[in-house]
Amino acid sequence: MAKIALIGAGEVIFTQNIIKDILISAALRDSEIVLMDIDAALTRSFAAIGGPFNITVNSVAPGMIITENIGIRLTKEEIAGKLKNIPLRRAATMEETAEAIINTIKSGYITGETVNINGGLYYAP
């Protein structure tokens, strides 16, 4: 980030795992234990540090993405089972995911946020 600060502007994008977010959400519902979302905390911390240098820092948390390799990792039945849990009833395309990331980068005023790209599978608290 120091090199970006020398330039005077820039963007940093982290990725997060949606499954971790769902597990944390479930744990918070089912117990009195308070879990800290380290990824989101780091994103917000870096955003606070980079802000004075006009550096935006955000995270993206993609859900299921249709790629050419999805059939190698999952059977058609597994894919169908996962899609039933997504409110949009489909996975994102690579283009949709890339567009969401690019739009996050293009906005010079979004910083410290996690952008969930998951068709409504997980809504941030």
Task: List the chain pLDDT tens, one digit each, 125 residues.
Answer: 555 555 566 777 776 665 455 444 444 444 433 344 567 888 899 999 999 988 898 888 888 998 888 888 889 999 999 999 999 999 999 999 999 988 988 888 999 998 888 999 877 66
For tokens 């597990």, the residue is 23
Q: Is 52 exposed, middle or buried (0-12, 13-18, 19+ CB in 10 A)?
A: exposed
pTM over 0.75: no
What is the structure's pLDDT at 32? 39
Class of domain 2-117: alpha beta
